Chain A
Amino acid sequence: MSYLFNTPEQQQEMLRVCGVDSIEKLFSDQVPADLRLNRLLEMPPALSELELEAELTALAHKNGGASTRTCFLGGGAYDHFIPAAVDTIATRSEFYTAYTPYQAEASQGTLQAFFEYQTLICELTGMDVSNASLYEGGTSVTEAVSMALRSLHNRRRVVVLGSMHPEYREILVTHLQHLNCELVTIPTPAGTADVSKVKAALNDQTACLVVQQPNFFGCLESAAELMAAAKDAGALGIISFDPLSLGLLQRPGDYGADIAVAEGQSLGTPLQYGGPYLGILTCREALMRKMPGRLIGQTTDRLGKRCFVLNLQAREQHIKRDKATSNICTNQGLLALRATVYMSLLGPQGLREVSELACRKAHYAAEQLAQVAGLELMFAQPFFKEFTVRCKGGVEPILKRAAAAGFDIGPELSRFTWSDGETMSAGLLVAVTEKRTRADIDRLAQALAKSR
């Protein structure tokens, strides 16, 4: 079953038109015999749809998904609520079986939806320009740093905070190690950066300062002061933000970020074990032509009617090749569409409600967990929807008790590499979304309080 159409008779007719008597001949004319694989591939046997569904269902049952357990997991991916209308639109196959809108006339649906995405993201962030999406949050930070290095090409120093997602930092290291750059990480032992220490690290060689807000530990950085410090040093200020925090917190555009990026998974994309997710990248207008990725622009057609096209393509790899602003070709169109529908459904009031619920419930959870013997808040800093607890008796027993009671919390900080590994090894993240109830939180606290 290969979703094939042509009957054996049709195949023969087609082969006749091609002037050969077998499909094999089409290959033997082109692929040298000694390169042919003269056996079948070693693969599992073909399954009917019924058998496949049974197998996949069995595999799915072996996993602890967020809908069957109670999820307090965070660290850059969150169990937020997804309204049904998001799925209704994203499963329209006119959207999901189309490709990159190269032919504008055949893709006005996609193009207008992405133009609306760009607008919504600008409204959400207060930034001037948004592209039509990147891979995910981590590579978006690297793309933002590359933009800064291209914009200020005499400056080769990149300053990041120790409170950034350790995987985002690792991706940055992977990409910068082959380029002639210096990556400086400012330690954040108190959970957030000391602004004076950051200022001291910024100099006339610094291309950019990268700040995650809220940071990996859930804490709120002094983002406005840090962006101002970057500006004072002549560097670009880059913010990696949580989209759903912006119903409550100041927007990156409000406090002077030059480039603002995000993991957009929380805007209507399911967890699906880490991807595909949505990379958001926005910037000030002056940086527009340095942006990576697709941009949709408004124009008019032959008859003067408003329509939408792929715009400023001269930045991109299919035109500029080795001089392109990035090697990116695909975007995350379907996830951008999900985010577009999600933001449309929320509107300003819905966004406010989600932000506020997550924030209030997280604070309630922090209070309850801090009262559990053996647990305390790791950092005395304001936070949004996620916080870090220190497990005085080690992380393992806490994780075990949570798991046994049907709760998932984490990730534990010991999963990642830290300059101060010993202190961090007792840390555990707890994320609280609008989906968690007071009863969930109370039961979690009770489960963790049980003696061993």
Chain B
Amino acid sequence: MRNQQATQLLFELSKSGRRAARFPTADVPDRPLTDLIPAAQLAKSLPPLPEVTEPDVIRHFVNLSTLNMSVDTHFYPLGSCTMKYNPKRHERLAGLPGLVDLHPYQTPAASQGMLQFLYEMQQMLAEIAGLPGVSMQPAAGAQGELTALLVAAQYFRDRGEHRTKVIFPNSAHGTNPASAAIAGFECVQLNQSEGGYVSLPELQSQLNDQTAVFMITNPSTLGLFERRIQTIAKMVHDVGGLVYIDGANMNAILGITRPGDFGGDMMHYNVHKTFTGPHGAGGPGSGPIAVRDFLADYLPGPIVTRTQQPDGTAVYGLATPSKTIGRVRTFFGNVGILLRGYCYLKTLGAEGVKAVSDNAVLNANYLLQKLKHVLPVPQGERCMHEFVASAQKLKTEKGISAMDIAKRLLDYGFHAPTVYFPLVVPEALMMEPTETESKETLDAFAAAIEQIVTEDPERLHEAPFTGPASRPDDLKAGRNPILKWTAKV
């Protein structure tokens, strides 16, 4: 079943004179274009886009889609990414006229339904965080981090404090240091750990009156809940710093514990992870932030407001906080993703939300127990919603690497876990099953790994054998980058 049309490029299908979309002829008086646009501004020729028919386009992209693994087709335990099921009702509802076709500059009076949903979403995000101030501007988690750090910078500047340093553990996502650098801070990385937890003496040694923010992912990228988070927060607060909670792993603690209750001053959500806005082949995400009351005036606007009318009805509007850091993106935010998250939370209710974390943590712990005899988990017996196994022993004894296991899993019909992250675990395989998988699937996945580690290591280095490609040459791609198709001359 070799389908040439999936592997040919669109440009190779092009034939001069073919067409798909056609538009009506102009119904306004015909005038020479040079009467409208100065001749010097007019293009001399048309952009050389491919010329294909609509059936060409459909067959091409439908065939391409079949070359992907996805949540709807495969178990996708990509750690730290929360690849849970994306309910289909969300797609239909986000496409309702009045929501999908609403212009961002429509007047508030003609956007009351939109603003009501956004207001209720703000409220739910504040409640789940235990932090009252919410801005839904950020387009993704990384932008949420940057936004919160800019809020912190402005807060300290207002207080006349010159604080220049952002501290984070070495297990942090790369976005943490990258965001801190872009916000103008110096980065301080903690390199020690106590069994995967923050080393308090090391943290203490780095805290001083230069400390602006301590960033921590809790639960951590190792799948551990930082038990001493309150003590850590107190240490940071004692030197006048702020605590930032990277909310990438919120799927473990919904309704269980709240960042605001364990000492966090600021946090971001990843709506596309925790609240199942689909991942969209890489995005769009949505990264709202929640902050303590004394930081709320610094948030980027617009924020949705609600005013109770004398007759009891509510009117929703848009406002910008008084000491705002300014906009971080155009318009309101990634509303389409927020809308899907809203549908999700409205479907679950408080008990359903807690059941998400209950079952995410149960599934992860069960999988950990099923795999630990094949793939040791250096950080121990228990985990939250994910865990990091290590293929170090297999690598030493048999020459089987984390990458070999990841690639061979594809042949068994499973997407690979996240590999080689976090950097602190050698030969890391980071597994996050999520709550939307069955025991049967987890059993089959564990059985596949048990099988793989008995296979011929030499053969494993060449896996996968069944997909559309096998072991692409990354070095070649980097040495001589080919980033677009060019016509052969």
Residues of B341-399 at the interface with A, using a CB-CB cut-off of 8 Å, are 343, 345-356, 358-359, 361-363, 365-366, 369-370, 382, 384
Give chain A residues whose Cβ lies under 8 Å from the Cβ of B286.
276
- Flag the segment in B198-206, B234-242, B289-297, B410-418 that touches A: B410-418
Give chain B residues whose Cβ lies under 8 Å from the Cβ of A83.
20-21, 54
Q: How far is the CA of A204 from the CA of B127 in the complex (A)?
A: 52
Are B181 and A322 in contact, with the CB atoms below 8 A? yes
**Nearest chain-A residue to B411 (Cβ)?**
A105
Are A351 and B101 in contact, with the CB atoms below 8 A? no
Q: How far is the CA of A171 from the CA of B143 in the complex (A)?
A: 12
Most chain B Cβ neighbours within 10 Å, of A3, A123, A308: A3
Q: How far is the CA of A52 from the CA of B87 in the complex (A)?
A: 13
Q: How far is the CA of A92 from the CA of B262 in the complex (A)?
A: 41
Q: Tally chain A residues at the interface, Cβ within 8 Å.
A: 207
A100 to B: closest C-beta gap in Å = 4
B431 to A: closest C-beta gap in Å = 14
A241 in the interface, Cβ–Cβ < 8 Å?
no
Give chain B residues whose Cβ lies under 8 Å from the Cβ of A10.
438-439
**Nearest chain-A residue to B436 (Cβ)?**
A3
Are B327 and A410 in contact, with the CB atoms below 8 A? no
Q: Could you say which of B102, B140, B485 contacts A271, with CB atoms under 8 Å apart?
A: B102
Give chain A residues whose Cβ lies under 8 Å from the Cβ of B444.
none
Are B26 and A360 in contact, with the CB atoms below 8 A? yes
CB-defined interface of B410-450 with A at 8 Å, one 1/0 digit per residue?
A: 10000110100100000000000001111101000000000
A62-B112, A302-B462, A360-B26 known; A52+B358 contact, CB < 8 A: no
Q: How far is the CA of A41 from the CA of B327 in the complex (A)?
A: 30
Q: Which 5 pairs show the lowest CB-CB distances between chains A and B?
A: A274-B331, A46-B349, A60-B98, A274-B104, A62-B113
**Nearest chain-A residue to B100 (Cβ)?**
A270
Are B331 and A329 in contact, with the CB atoms below 8 A? no
CB-defined interface of A258-270 with B at 8 Å, one 1/0 digit per residue?
A: 0000010000001
**Nearest chain-A residue to B103 (Cβ)?**
A73
Residues of B58-84 at the interface with A, using a CB-CB cut-off of 8 Å, are 58, 60-62, 64-74, 76, 78, 81, 83-84
What are 27 A-B contacts defined by CB distance under 8 Å?
A18-B369, A56-B96, A60-B96, A60-B98, A62-B112, A63-B102, A96-B278, A98-B76, A99-B83, A99-B281, A105-B407, A112-B64, A138-B329, A171-B329, A247-B43, A248-B42, A251-B47, A254-B44, A273-B99, A273-B331, A274-B331, A328-B142, A334-B278, A348-B49, A348-B51, A382-B38, A408-B103
Residues of A161-212 at the interface with B, using a CB-CB cut-off of 8 Å, are 165, 167-168, 170-171, 173-175, 177-179
**Nearest chain-B residue to A165 (Cβ)?**
B330
Are B91 and A306 in contact, with the CB atoms below 8 A? no
Are A73 and B86 in contact, with the CB atoms below 8 A? no
Residues of B276-293 at the interface with A, using a CB-CB cut-off of 8 Å, are 278-286
A2-B355, A85-B58 known; A357+B24 contact, CB < 8 A: yes
Are A298 and B477 in contact, with the CB atoms below 8 A? yes
Q: How far is the CA of A137 from the CA of B477 in the complex (A)?
A: 29
Q: How far is the CA of A15 from the CA of B58 in the complex (A)?
A: 47
**Nearest chain-A residue to B486 (Cβ)?**
A119
A42 in the interface, Cβ–Cβ < 8 Å?
yes
Give chain A residues whose Cβ lies under 8 Å from the Cβ of B89.
49, 52-53
Are B23 and A357 in contact, with the CB atoms below 8 A? yes
Q: How far is the CA of A297 from the CA of B481 in the complex (A)?
A: 6
B406 in the interface, Cβ–Cβ < 8 Å?
yes
B489 in the interface, Cβ–Cβ < 8 Å?
no
Are A275 and B472 in contact, with the CB atoms below 8 A? no
Are B70 and A93 in contact, with the CB atoms below 8 A? yes
**Nearest chain-A residue to B282 (Cβ)?**
A333
Residues of B432-489 at the interface with A, using a CB-CB cut-off of 8 Å, are 435-439, 441, 462, 464, 467-474, 476-478, 481-485
Are B483 and A129 in contact, with the CB atoms below 8 A? yes
B334 in the interface, Cβ–Cβ < 8 Å?
yes
Q: How far is the CA of A327 from the CA of B173 in the complex (A)?
A: 10
Residues of A9-36 at the interface with B, using a CB-CB cut-off of 8 Å, are 10-11, 13-15, 17-19, 23, 26-27, 29-32, 34-36
Give chain A residues whose Cβ lies under 8 Å from the Cβ of B467.
105-106, 108
Are A345 and B57 in contact, with the CB atoms below 8 A? yes
Q: How far is the CA of A65 from the CA of B280 in the complex (A)?
A: 25
Give chain B residues whose Cβ lies under 8 Å from the Cβ of A303.
470
B225 in the interface, Cβ–Cβ < 8 Å?
yes
Q: Could you say which of B111, B184, B262, B327 contacts A170, with CB atoms under 8 Å apart?
A: B327
Are B65 and A92 in contact, with the CB atoms below 8 A? yes
Most chain A Cβ neighbours within 10 Å, of B262, B272, B483: B483
- Flag the segment in A231-239, A313-321, A372-380 that touches B: A313-321
Q: Could you say which of A65, A139, A302 contacts B99, with CB atoms under 8 Å apart?
A: A65
Q: Tally chain B residues at the interface, Cβ within 8 Å.
A: 201
Give chain B residues whose Cβ lies under 8 Å from the Cβ of A280.
none
A71 in the interface, Cβ–Cβ < 8 Å?
yes
B190 in the interface, Cβ–Cβ < 8 Å?
no
Residues of A48-74 at the interface with B, using a CB-CB cut-off of 8 Å, are 49, 52-53, 55-68, 71, 73
Are A179 and B184 in contact, with the CB atoms below 8 A? yes
B135 to A: closest C-beta gap in Å = 12
Give chain B residues whose Cβ lies under 8 Å from the Cβ of A272.
94, 99-102, 335-336, 339
Residues of B294-329 at the interface with A, using a CB-CB cut-off of 8 Å, are 300, 325-329
Q: How far is the CA of A340 from the CA of B11 in the complex (A)?
A: 12
Are B336 and A309 in contact, with the CB atoms below 8 A? no
A322-B181, A348-B46, A361-B28 known; A403+B107 contact, CB < 8 A: yes
Are B436 and A322 in contact, with the CB atoms below 8 A? no
Q: Could you say which of B68, B72, B145, B180 contacts A106, with CB atoms under 8 Å apart?
A: B68
Most chain A Cβ neighbours within 10 Å, of B114, B182, B286, B347: B182
Are A112 and B9 in contact, with the CB atoms below 8 A? yes
A22 to B: closest C-beta gap in Å = 10
**Nearest chain-B residue to A354 (Cβ)?**
B23
Q: Could you say which of B113, B227, B474, B482 contacts A60, with CB atoms under 8 Å apart?
A: B113
Q: How far is the CA of A334 from the CA of B99 in the complex (A)?
A: 18
Q: Could you say which of B41, B87, B406 contacts A3, with CB atoms under 8 Å apart?
A: B87
Are A138 and B21 in contact, with the CB atoms below 8 A? no
B299 to A: closest C-beta gap in Å = 12
Give chain A residues whose Cβ lies under 8 Å from the Cβ of B122.
none
B52 in the interface, Cβ–Cβ < 8 Å?
yes
Give chain A residues whose Cβ lies under 8 Å from the Cβ of B145.
327
A374 to B: closest C-beta gap in Å = 20
B1 in the interface, Cβ–Cβ < 8 Å?
no
Are A104 and B330 in contact, with the CB atoms below 8 A? no
